[in-house]
Structures are given as structure tokens and as C-alpha cells.
Amino acid sequence: MSVGSRSPIPAGCQYISKYDVKVTAVDIYCTRPNCARPLNSFPDLDSGKVIKTITQKFCVTCGMPLMLGGRYLVEKPLARGGFGATYLAIDRYTPAMRKCVVKQLQPVGFTPEQMTIAKQMFEREGEVLEKLGKHPQIPDLLAFFEVESNGDEFFYLVQEFIDGFTLEGLVQQYGAIAELDVIDIMKSVLPILQFVHENGSIHRDIKPSNIMIRKTDQVYFLLDFGAVKQVTVGAATGLASTGIYTPGYGAPEQMRGAKVYPSSDLYAFGVTCLYLLTGKDPEDLIDPQTNQWRWRSFVQVSPQLGEILDHMIASAPKDRFSSAAEVLQALGAGTSISVPPASQSTVITPVPSAPTSIPDMPSPAPVQVQVPVVPEPMPQPAPARVRPPASKPWLLQVPLSTQLFGAFLLGAQGGLLGVVAHAVMLKSIGVIPTVVIVGGLMLTALALRVFAILDNKDVLVFVNILSILVVGALQFFLKWNLPNLGTIALICGTAGFATVALMTIFRLVFQILFSIL
């Protein structure tokens, strides 16, 4: 995205990239679940040649093979789920010891039936990733294999490592994202969803932590296809859902354990956009009394985007967009969307997921063997660049035109008070009381504008016109010895323009300091 002059990558962002890989590795992390001492140190591997030629290394505590698939050395754990874990690793058979992500299925304590279900799901993920990884914004599948150790079976897949930060991490550190940036994010991510859906899959776990921005070029990636649901060609009626979803982002049909559709992903992506715009979790955007969305009370957006988002988060799948392409068309058309009444006040009815034999795992289903030919990826728009969110000083958050208009009226009112103080108050009550009264009035006016009235031109105009009328009435009825109205207007105008100049300088200084810091 070309909007904004600052770099889109905050200097302090170190989410996954904090696990930097050394040229030579001496520490290898054991992936066996519940290993007492998973970190192993090998001084003899402190050589590029040794680490590339040695046959295997084993955990000194539990005997687990450490060179997974003979080539991948795990450095650190990244995340753990219900029945799997994700690790950062290096590929010792690449010249630069390339980083990669290793995902492991952990079948500890599973019954044979549960093991069958788990293997089917893991194999399905591998099949889907091999097919979907052809898209430039989905991590490539690098390897898929099994490891046996002491009678236990472990299953691994290796993916391309994306060095970047998630949208969730960006919002947590910097706050809500501006509307124009969210629109650019939508235009970058929706083509990925369209590709996924056109290739017979539904992601089912769209959320801010599963959308990553690569640091080098700000390209967006869709992550974590562990919950992906592959559908057969022509299955227009959808598929039965399982308990795999993230609370707050899962569509109502997912929460009920009913069939899922491409619009189920669009619902989750719509909620993701609300999180980006407001910086608030989904549960904070729903009225607990009525279970209706109330996101509009936290952020103001253009009518077009508001209608599109309401359409995406409609409760019933039939009331939503049927495809990501339709959302893209609505974003590009710039016309009003006809939103069904149900989606204007979407009601969320949480229903517990249908119980399954394994938590977060689908019921046994035949794995689709015949994989359809993958079409060429859709043309991608230029990668969007996220400008720094709105966690700025108040002086930079207010629109420039509104701020300068308020500064002029503030200065004009100050000039009017100065005229009154010089002509009347100094002679009647003395210098110190005059300074106290005028200073108190100015600070009160400033506080009202900063905290409550700065974005309301009508109130500002009303206050200043009222002040002029009061002074004029006092001069007419009490015969105050004030300058004529022309002189008063000249003084007020000069004070107003001086305040505008001063505010412009302050804003410029703040902008420079904020850009540097």
C-alpha cells in the first residue's frame, strides 16, 4: 500500500523472526511430547561440515531421533494445539541452512480408532497443502513423513517459513488499523480465499493470527490449514462441520456443528476485519443482552464498507456473499449493497459443537484420492502495505482541516476575551483577577475542544457566535468602553490566524518526532 510515509513495519515487531537461525547449530530441540529435557546441546556439531554430513542424533533423555526426516533440526517450539505442535527448524541440506516450520501430530494416548482418524486428518492436510501451496500467498509444503521411536508413531509435515508478523500481533502492539488499510488487506486476502474455495477446500479457521505479513515485501500469507475441510467437486450443499474453529470467529453453522460453506470463511474474515478496525475482540462487539452485533458503536466507517461487513457477518449463510469474488466486486464497485434485514442486526446463537471422539478432530471421512488439477493462481493485486495504526498522540489523530478550523475559532475567542479584559476587566477588578478569569476560561475552552468538541464544528461556531452576541449586548446595554466592532473583528481574526500558525507548527513537530520515534 502506498498510503503513508512511514515504513509499514514497526521497528519493534519481532514475532516469529525473533528465532534467528545461526549458521552452525549446536542445540536441537526434542519433539517427543512430555520429554523431561527436550533441549540437547552437541558441541561436536559446531561445524558446518559436520552438521551436514552426520547421519543422526538422538535425544540424550528419551532417545527420540532429532534430525527429523534425516535433515530437519528443530530449534524452538512455536505453538502447541490440541493434538499437535509447531516448531521452528532449519534444513541442514540447504546452503544457507534455510528456516522452515515443522508441524507434528502428537498421538500420545490415542486409541487405534482415534489414531486412524488423526492420521486421516493429517494426511488430508498434507494433500491440501500440496495442492494449495502452489498459490504464492500460501506457504509451500516442503516435506511429509513419519518417524517411529520406541514403538510410537509421529507424523510431520514441513512448510515454508514466513518471516513476518501476524495481524493479531500488529493490532495488539499498535491498536486499530485505519479503514483504507483494512480495505487493502481485504483486497489482498480475498483472492487467496477465492483460490482455496475454487480448489475444493474450506479453511474454517480464518482469524487475525492466521494472516501474516512478510517483512521483506509486505505480502500477505494465509496460514494454518490444519482445520481445512476438503470438499468434493460439486458439493454445493456444504459439509458437516466439526469442533475446529476459534470462538468468536467461527460462523454460527460451525458453532452448531452443521454444514460449512465458503461463506463460513467469509464470515470469519468479516469478523477479522471488525477486529482490525476496532482493536476489540469479537465478544466485545456483541451485545450480551440481545446477542446482536454492535460494532458500529466502536468505529465509524464509510457506508459502503459498513454494508459489506454486515453482509459478510450475516447469521444465515444464504444472507452472506456466496464467494470471495463477490466481496471483491462489491469493494471495487463503490455502490451500495442490498443487505437483507437479518444481516443488519445479526444474531449470534452459540450452540456447543457436536461431541467428537477426539477434541478438535473431525469424524472419520473418506479421504479424497483423486485430486483435481490445480488451475493457475488468480492474478494478485499489488501487495498492500499496512500503515501504522492509529495509536498516535491526539494532535495527530484529528483531521487537519478540523484541527485548524478549531484552532482559528479558539484564537478568535481568545482575542475577544483579550479585548474585554483590556477594556473593562483590568480597570474594574485589577490585573491578577483578570489573568485568573481569562486563563481559566481559555483552559476550559481548550479542554472542551480537545476532549469533547474538537470534531464538532457546529458547536465551535455556536460557542463563538454566542460569545460575540453576549459581548455586543453588554456593550450596547452597559455602555462598556470597547473598541468598535470592526476593530474587534480585526483583533479576533488576527488572533485566530496566529493560533492556526502555532497549531500548524506544533503538528509538524509532532509529526516529525512521531516518524522518528
Predicted confidence (pLDDT) per residue in 61-110, tens digit: 899 999 999 999 999 998 876 567 889 999 988 888 899 999 887 656 66
CA-based nearest residue to 362, from 251, 242, 258 = 242
Structure confidence at residue 487 (pLDDT): 82
Local structure of 169: helix, strand or coil: helix
171/135 same-domain check: no
The CA-based diameter of the chain, rounded to the nearest angstrom, is 104
174/287 same-domain check: yes
175/316 same-domain check: yes
Structure confidence at residue 280 (pLDDT): 92
221/193 same-domain check: yes
188/284 same-domain check: yes
Q: Which three cell numbers stand for residue 194?
A: 477465492
End position of a domain, from candidates 139, 160, 181: 160
Share of the chain above pLDDT 70, in %: 67
471/441 same-domain check: yes
How many C-beta atoms surround the C-beta of residue 162 within 10 A? 23
Is residue 300 situated within a structural domain? yes
Q: Which three cell numbers stand for residue 131?
A: 495442492
241/262 same-domain check: yes
Structure confidence at residue 238 (pLDDT): 42
Per this entry, what is the length of the chain? 517
Is residue 378 situated within a structural domain? no
Q: What is the DSSP letter of 178?
A: -
Instruction: Count Cβ atoms within 10 A of the Cβ of residue 100 and give its class: 0-12 exposed, 13-18 middle, 19 or more buried.
Output: buried
Distance CA 63, CA 108 (A): 16
CA-based nearest residue to 202, from 249, 271, 266 = 266
Structure confidence at residue 112 (pLDDT): 77
Is residue 331 situated within a structural domain? yes
CATH number of the domain to which 73 belongs: 3.30.200.20
> What is the span of the domain harbouring residue 214?
164-344
Distance CA 429, CA 339 (A): 64
Please give the positions annotated as active site. Answer: 205
* Alpha-helix runs per DSSP H in 87-178: 112-132, 167-174
Local structure of 152: helix, strand or coil: strand
123/99 same-domain check: yes
* Cross-strand bridge partners of residue 341: none
Structure confidence at residue 46 (pLDDT): 67
CATH number of the domain to which 220 belongs: 1.10.510.10
Which amino acid makes up residue 166? Answer: T
Quick one: how far is CA 60 from the chain centroid? 41
- Total number of domains constituting the chain: 3
Is residue 334 situated within a structural domain? yes
The per-residue DSSP string of 395-451 comes to HHHS-HHHHHHHHHHHHHHHHHHHHHIIIIIHHHT-HHHHHHHHHHHHHHHHHHIII
192/272 same-domain check: yes
Q: Do residues 264 and 193 lie in contact, with contact meaning Cβ atoms separated by under 8 Å?
A: no
152/216 same-domain check: no
Q: Which three cell numbers stand for residue 292?
A: 446482536
Residue 446 half-sphere exposure toward CB, CA atoms < 13 A: 11
Structure confidence at residue 22 (pLDDT): 43
End position of a domain, from candidates 319, 344, 369: 344
Is residue 22 situated within a structural domain? no
End position of a domain, from candidates 100, 132, 160: 160
Structure confidence at residue 446 (pLDDT): 67
Q: Do residues 213 and 383 lie in contact, with contact meaning Cβ atoms separated by under 8 Å?
A: no
102/180 same-domain check: no
Torsion of CA 160, 166, 169, 171, to 10 degrees: 170
109/195 same-domain check: no
Is residue 176 situated within a structural domain? yes
Structure confidence at residue 480 (pLDDT): 64
Angstrom CA distances, 261 to 213, 232, 250, 271, stand at: 26, 12, 12, 16
Question: Exposure pattern of 388-401 as b/e (b: 16+ CB <10 Å)?
Answer: bbeeeeeeeebeee
Which amino acid makes up residue 392? Answer: K
Residue 409 half-sphere exposure toward CB, CA atoms < 13 A: 25
Q: Return the sign of the alpha-carbon dihedral for residues 156, 158, 163, 164.
A: negative
Is residue 256 situated within a structural domain? yes
Is residue 355 situated within a structural domain? no
Print pLDDT tens along the chain (517 aa). Answer: 433 333 344 433 433 333 444 444 468 999 988 889 999 988 877 666 788 888 889 999 899 999 999 999 999 998 876 567 889 999 988 888 899 999 887 656 667 787 777 777 777 777 877 888 889 999 888 998 888 888 778 889 898 999 999 999 999 988 999 999 999 999 999 999 999 999 888 888 899 999 999 998 899 999 887 655 554 333 333 444 444 668 889 888 888 888 889 999 999 999 999 999 999 999 999 888 888 899 998 999 999 999 999 999 998 999 999 999 999 999 985 444 444 443 333 333 333 333 333 333 333 333 333 333 334 444 444 444 444 444 455 556 566 777 777 788 778 877 877 777 776 666 667 778 777 877 777 677 666 655 544 444 444 555 666 666 666 676 666 666 667 778 888 888 898 888 888 888 887 887 777 666 5
